């Protein structure tokens, strides 16, 4: 998870966000299904994905996988879930939307915890919350962090499944590939993992 700088709110959300939110709140309360609305004959998600993608240099906002258009479908993550019993009022709120890989979305689904870390907050810094295990390829809570920060790291790792399945092995494989190839860092997945390994 890499620090992000949030771009300005796009015009479709400024112009129509309130109307779309009201419509979604009503539909979700009645048990209706989610679908992205259309803005000027284009599906809204297709307008937002390029903006969110650029904000994080084609990397997933949570696992830092890259490039999503090749390795995973490009999805938009509602950080605070948009379900009727959760945060339907934030379904079209710009700072609630993130570029995300399908695997992170599949792990998280409609789960939310107030401890969950959000990478575009002003004070977010990876090393404040996390360390890497370069033997296992895992992301771990920083053992010298405050207890509240360790809890936030643990919740984020758990909810996005950052150490689930083959993800740790994939980090190690990409580290070896990054060391053997002359690629710019932004053209590799797991940038923080590779940077920290090179510095250690």
Q: What is the pLDDT of residue 72?
A: 72
Would you list the domain boundaries of the chain? 11-199
pTM of the model: 0.92
pLDDT at 17 exceeding the cut of 90: yes
Burial degree of 99 (CB within 10 A; 0-12, 13-18, 19+): buried
Q: Are strands 130-133 and 38-39 parallel, antiparallel or unpaired?
A: unpaired
Q: Which residue has the higher pLDDT, 199 or 69?
A: 199
Q: What is the pLDDT of residue 27?
A: 95
Q: What is the pLDDT of residue 88?
A: 96
Contact between 118 and 77 under an 8 Å Cβ cutoff? The reply is no
Q: What is the pLDDT of residue 73?
A: 82
Contact between 134 and 200 under an 8 Å Cβ cutoff? The reply is yes
Reduced to 3 states, what is the DSSP secondary structure of residue 52?
Answer: helix
The token duo for 116 is 């969950």
Q: What is the pLDDT of residue 137?
A: 94
Q: What is the pLDDT of residue 187?
A: 85
Reduced to 3 states, what is the DSSP secondary structure of residue 49?
Answer: helix
Q: What is the pLDDT of residue 69?
A: 66
Residue-wise pLDDT for 57-68, tens only, equals 999 999 999 877
Using alpha carbons, list the distances in angstroms from residue 47 to 40, 147, 197. Answer: 10, 40, 36
Mean pLDDT value of segment 22-31: 95
Contact between 153 and 111 under an 8 Å Cβ cutoff? The reply is no
Maximum Cα interatomic distance, the chain, rounded to a whole number of Å: 55
Residue-wise pLDDT for 87-132, tens only, equals 999 999 999 999 999 999 999 999 999 999 999 999 999 999 999 9
């Amino acid at each position: 998870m890499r620090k992000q700088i949030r771009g300005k709110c796009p015009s479709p959300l400024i112009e129509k966000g309130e109307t779309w939110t009201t419509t979604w709140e009503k539909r979700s309360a009645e048990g209706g299904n989610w679908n992205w609305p259309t803005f000027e004959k284009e599906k809204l998600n297709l307008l937002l994905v390029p903006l969110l993608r650029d904000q994080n240099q084609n990397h997933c906002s949570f696992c830092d996988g890259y490039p999503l258009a090749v390795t995973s479908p490009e999805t938009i993550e509602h950080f605070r879930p948009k379900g009727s019993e959760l945060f339907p009022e934030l379904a079209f709120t710009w700072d609630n939307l993130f570029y995300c890989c399908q695997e992170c979305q599949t792990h998280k689904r409609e789960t939310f915890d107030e401890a969950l870390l959000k990478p575009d907050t002003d004070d977010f810094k990876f090393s404040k919350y996390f360390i890497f295990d370069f033997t296992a390829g895992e992301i771990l809570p920083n053992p010298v962090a405050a207890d509240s920060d360790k809890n936030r790291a643990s919740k984020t790792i758990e909810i996005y499944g950052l150490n689930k399945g083959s993800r740790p092995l994939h980090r190690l494989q990409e580290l070896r590939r990054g060391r053997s190839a002359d690629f710019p860092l932004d053209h590799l997945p797991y940038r923080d993992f590779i940077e920290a390994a090179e510095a250690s």
